[in-house]
Structure 1
Amino acid sequence: MRLTGLQRHALRWVHLVIGGAILVPYFLVASVVLSMVRGTGPYGDIATQFLAFGLALPPAWAAGLVFAPARSMATGAVRTFYGVPRELLADEPGYSWTARRRTALWYLAHNAAGGIVSGMSLAAPPAAVGLLALPFSTGLQRSFPGWQEAFPGVLGPLAGLALLALLAGTTWGAGQLMARLAPVLLGPTPADRLAAAERRAADLATRNRLARELHDSVGHALSAVTLQASAARRVLDTDPEFARQALAAIEDTTRDAVAELDTVLGLLREEDGGDPTAPAPTLDALEALLERTRAAGVRIETTVQGRCTGLPPVVSREAYRIVQEGLSNALRHAGPVPVELSVHRTERELTLRMENPVSGPVAGPSPGSSVPAPRTGGGRGLLGIAERARLLGGEAAAGAHDGVWRLTVRLPLAGRERGARGAVRP
């Protein structure tokens, strides 16, 4: 519900009065102590009261300094009473000393302004009514002769109206001041903004990680199954044996895809504090991946230099996903074309190279059969490869040259290196 200006100022007055009420216990204690010291009676003279008001403010400041949840309490009240936008205020308790000091200053300002407005709200209206009625009441004139002398005739009502205007103006000014101070004193500190940015970055990294896993694992399986099912349908009457082999390959591929999906779901549970239910595939499972892809009609020639065992686990996992995505790209964009895969390991890095024809006629799974048309579009797979390489401190390059699509990825084995590039270069 949208509030009018008068309603908003009324709410601010209520909040200021609450601040004055919070200050009352401290004020009473200070008044009693000062009156005993100065011998001026239970509540002391006017000077004692002003001095007690000043001495009551430090405890309010200390409360905001030592009580960290005070910031959350204050921000909720500020949104309600002052209409300050939520994005300008901190949502969490302030545990850092910077946040505590700011919160303490807010409570100091709130109690000081609230004490002034509360005192005026108690004293000004009765005095204003008396001044307004002064010319018309002989009893008031006898009871307050000083008023009669200071405000003769119409000056009494005018003084009463001025007193009410002073109360309204003071309340308005205090409300405006507090509304301006709220984002400064109760807004997020630099540490809060840094923590929020780190949380957003972590959430984005998690989302990108899961997107890469789903894209590379499930996407590869679906691409292979599409080609296998298409080949089985086209040769069902002419080559039943090949069709049975294709259906068996589809069964194996979908079973592996379910296991891959369990792995991704395990990553989700890991992010929530649980344990993954299935291990992520590594280069140890490379041959099984190649066999499934060959079942879709893809001829793959593999060259391995060096040992693929004993790799750092994270490098082995990411390398498997990169090979999987490279094969998926060949299936999706070029069809079952011949693919050359080279895996080269040295002491410092692991290099993956894949080549396949970009376009042109390709052989079907059996004589006289045809293959589905290559799919166009996409592009997220290459971004995923780039991200995987960048996270390990490596680099990836991909592009078409002389009718051949080439993908080259280098992954360091010693961890992240300075100055590594992660973007896919044409």
Structure 2
Amino acid sequence: MTQKLIIILLVFLTGAQCGLSAWERPNVILIISDDHAFDDYGFMGSEQVNTPVLDKLANESLTYTRGYTMPVCSPTLASLLTGRLPHEHGITGNDLAGWQEIGGRYGNQYRTELQRRILDNPLILPEALSEAGYLTFQTGKIWNGTYKDMGFTHGMTKKGTRHGDEGLKIGRETMQPIFDFIEMAEQKNKPFFIWHAPLLPHDPHNPPERLLKKYRGKGPTPAAEKYRACVEWLDESTGELEDYLVANQHKENTVILYLADNGWNAEKGYKGQRAKMSPYEDGTRTPILIRWPGKVKAEMDGSTLAHVTDITRTILDITGVPVPKELPGLNLMDRSAMKNRETVFVEAYTHDIADLSNPAESLFANVVIHDWWKLILPGPATAKRAFATAPQGIELYDLKKDPYEKVNLADQHPKVVEQLKKLQLEHWNPKP
């Protein structure tokens, strides 16, 4: 029996166990926003940004407001692709050290090693879904290869340079490629998976004037106003997708999952601190949503810990694809398991990867979030980017009382520090 036939048989059996016909599996769309602060949504309490579509999506979803991801994009996307943490999947930064000399800013010669490293993982999500009978489509950012390299059946990124080349048109210039793909999948009577990772609200912060004029003169800086208009631009393009699903009767049988790849500081941008590329809440926290009409009860959960690796596990379970035993994530729909979880981990690394076989070489902070406690441990590396804030020592925060980490309690709670350090040591096990 061939490996592919075995996978199809396992998918059929798993789907049957979940009460789903293997041939009537739901469609799945994963939306990944980019450089988006965790509190820059109306449903997260913001009065500065206008996000009616995302607010409605959150209200129709099981929404975990305490989601965590890595503080920079490529490691986060690699975690979504593999279901693993950076010290396991090997992509700890955006580029290899010396990348400017090796391949230039938009050259791809140096990405071969990175591509080889990520494809060495036991799971690549789009490849597994494609092999299981889904039509799979890539848009937006992907890093370290083309859509074909990552196992998508269709996609927009065809050169494999930094970010995602032609894929970056999605959401900014057009949504039509997604609509065309869905129409094709419908004609072929196939379930579909869409990786939708628009370069929004990521820079360039060049929103249309019709959006920018809503924010002009209302922000702390002109740069913040442009960023906030880009948040609404993301919301608007998400609305185009939602309208298409409703108009073409796909909403009921399409699961939407949402998260941001990392955070942002609207006021200070790349001159800011404790946000992008940093282990603090503004860099690592994100709401995580799952909407499945009629299957998942809508609820706003403000206490349970969710994690980027949960997205991958959830998609595998939804589609009936077998889950590799080594994946750390939980199924977002398993409310009991999610509520019983006490701890999640975050890893902050330098922008450039010092050594693909030794993650610790690039590590400048390890993070343990245990219930409402957050421990930040300094790593051996130095954060070389101006906006990548590294801890100066051990830091402990009570996130329930201090959600923006203003008061370091490490000296006051040495037992808690030791307890969380032990959890970190048990978790940290780099694999070459």
- Tell me the TM-score normalized by structure 1: 0.19
Q: Which has the higher contact order (CA 8 A, sep 6+)?
A: 2
More strand by share: 2
More helix by share: 1
- Tell me the TM-score normalized by structure 2: 0.19
